[in-house]
Each structure stands twice: as structure tokens, then as C-alpha cells.
Chain A
Amino acid sequence: MGSVQSFVTIFLGIFIEAAPFLLLGSLVSGLIEVFVDQERFGKLFPKNPFVASLIGTVMGLVFPVCECGVVPVTRRLFRKGLPLSAGIAFLLAAPIVNPIVLAGTWAAFGNSTVFWGRVVMALLVSGTIGLLFALAPKPEQLLLETDALPAAQPCSIETVTHQRQQGSSWRRLEQDIRRALVVAGEEFFEMGRYLVIGSLLAAAMQVAVPQAALLRIGRGPLTSVLAMLLLAFVLSVCSTVDAFLALAFVNSFTSGSILAFLVFGPMVDAKSMLMFAGVFRRRIVAYLVLLPLAMTLFLTVLFNFNLGG
């Protein structure tokens, strides 16, 4: 009975911590739906996938979202014509390369190799993977059917245009905001279900996986990285605070493994993996988990060997 209590408490802890961030992401998504013009937005991006994915990696500076908020925003931007390479790069980079998370990392680590390593590796991993996706023969087929997206129905658009024709601009703005709030509410349910399943999964793993054993794996340049990658996945801690958590491991773990925790954790964890399933086909979700895993592993182990543990 006691472990059921712990399971529920940990589940609620993860959900309650993530819910406000998902809510903010849903609100941004609702505002994008109503206020971003699809035709003009699509034209903002260059045709060159290399440049597009480069832009994607730094878009987080404009849309400051963590790993829960980024999924609904990316999904909505795809619908507004965001190129796939830019979207993938944004999805992976934004939870790290955004003002809030950068400030948190700076507060925890200061001007150090960990801070700069986190930024550089995040840009490298997300940019490369965005580019890889652009090479797919039919990029548009990687997304789930768009009819699964809220607010795409002609009827609702008619209603909006109908309302737009009548009344002053203030009235129009009010209508737009109401509409954005309704879309945000729908979005919260669309993504919230994955957040709930992901939080259940993370809580179950927390009750089942002995953490101390994981942490005892040791100081090896490879084993420490593997342990921290697994820990990042299991803990599913929000990227806005993970730097402070990582501080607790600084002295018992290699710098490379701390970087692995800080680079891989925000890109992929138990709950965000489930949320990817709401946007992409299953095979693509697997790539989105495995590619960052492989690249982070490679880069951080290399880091350990070259710059010392």
C-alpha cells in the first residue's frame, strides 16, 4: 500500500510541476493559431534546409518554452508551414537554448565548460538532427495526419470570418482572444493525455528503478555517462530547473556525464517521448529518441576523454 502512495505522490509531483508549463505552451499555441498568418509565416523560412534548421536551433530565444511547452508550439508551427528541419531543430533545442533555461544554467554553473558545453552540444545535436530529417524523401509524411489537429475545420473558420465582418476592431480582438483560449484548452487535452501517460510511466520507473544502484555505477568515462542518460530519462525533470539538480552530482560524476544529463534530459525524457507521439509517426518518435541519445553519448564520452573526468 505504501508504494502505491509513493507512486501516486510522485506521479502528481511530476504532473503538477509540468502542467503550468504545458498550459503556457498551449496558450502560445492558441495565440499562434489565431494571430499568425499561415501564408506569411511559411515565406519567412528559406528553402535551404541547412539554413532552416540553423534558424530552428535558435528559435527558442523567441519562444521561451521548456520541454513540455515546446511540443504543442512545434505542432502548431508545423501547421502554419514551418519547415520540418527547422521544426525538429526547434523541438530539440528550444528546451535548452532559451533565455530562462540559459539563465538557470548560468546561475548554477557560471562561466564554465559545463555551461558552454551545454549550449554548444544542444545546438550541434539539434541542428544535425534537423538537417537529417530534411533529407527524408517525403518530409511531410513524417507528421501525423493534420486532421488530428484542433481548429482546422472549415466551419469554425467560417464562424470566425463571419464574426470578423461585424463589429469594431476591439470586438474583433476580443473574439480572437476567446478563440485562442478555446484552442489552448483543446490543445491542453491533446497534449495533456500524453503528459499524464508519461508522468505515470516516469513515476512507475521511479518506484521500480533503484536510484542508488544507478548512481553507484561509478566514475568511468562511459559508465557515468550511461548512468546519467538513464537518470535524465527516468527523472523527467523540467529543463527550467535541471541545472540546479545537476549541481548535486557535480562532485561524484564526470563532467561529461553532467553534460549528458543537461543535454539529453531536456530533449528526451519519459514524458516528452510520449508527447512526441502526439505529433509524429511512431517510427519518427523512435528516431527522435535514439538520434539525440546516440549523439549525446558520443559527444559527452569524447568530452570525458579529451577534457578529463
Chain B
Amino acid sequence: MPEDVGRIWGVHFLRVGAFPPAAARELVVRISRRVAVPCKVLATPFEGEMPLLDGRTQVNADPLLETLEAQAERDNLLVGLLTLDIGSPLFTFFFGRARLHGHVAIVSLARLRPEFYGLPADPELTARRTEREVLHELGHLAGLHHCDTYDCLMYFASSVDAIDNRGSSFCPGCAERLPTGLLPRRAMRD
């Protein structure tokens, strides 16, 4: 997150690989309702080389994050959206990845979909989970740590059940530490 929070002009979404444009557009609508700054999907998807993990059918999240960080604009937050599963040599998987106080996050749809667990597809549920995961990663970009309040968006979730169980908003303590641009529009008006 740039130190001068007043300089955040918006949150940009970047489709990585074959991420469905419709899903990206719906996500922008959802996130736009939740934050004060404008949100948009970048027209050109990222089609660079995917750093894959040895012996695993997963994208290595950390080098991908570095690549996106190198080409991102400093004044906007950038969220890379993937359908491929992400992990790292040290961790078996991630739902999303971001550096504290960084300006780029990535979120994978792979494990947010019920189909991953052998359940019937549920686009609404997937969209809701993706929205929460994006807001969680934006919280990290704003410098928020994981929170011990179980229904806060910043509560650590290591399973989709935990994502479903944690609430859809930041607890008062975390909300207080968020920059104005990432606060809900309603809160700004107040």
C-alpha cells in the first residue's frame, strides 16, 4: 500500500490466463459496493509465462506476485485473478497471496469453487467467497495482520468453510486501521 493513502486512485483487477471476463466483471461490481475508490477490470489479461511448481499442478504464487508487482502502477492496487491453483514450495496451497503494505495481490478461484471438493457448482457461493478473499488480501495490502475476531474478514481462513464462516465485513478494530479509500462508501459519507 502506498504510504500516502490519499493517492490510491483505484483497485484494478487483472485477469491472469483464462480467468472468465464475466466473473471478473461481477467481482468488480461486488467490490465496488464495498470500497470507496473506483474499481475496474484491466482490458488486457496477463498472458506471460506461469511459474509452475516442480511436480505439482500449481502456479508458484511468489514469483507470479513479483512479476505482477514489477509491472503494476504504484498509485493503484492491483489484484491478479486466476483460475489455476496456487501454492509455493513451502505451502501446499493458498486462496490468495499478498505482501503486507504491498500493492499487488493474487487470488485463485480454484479452491473457492465447490466443484473442487466434488460438490455441485454454485456460482453465487463462488462469487461470495471470491469477494471475501479479495477484501481479505486488500486488508493485507493496507497493512492489516490476521485478526483473532472470528467473524472479521481478516480472520485467518485455511479452508473454504472458514471463509464461509468468517463475516463479510471488517471488525471495528481492523476497519479503524484501513485507509479511507478501502472503507465502504457509506462509512466515507458518515
Q: Tell whether A pairs with B.
A: no
Interface residues of A (CB under 8 A from B): none
Interface residues of B (CB under 8 A from A): none
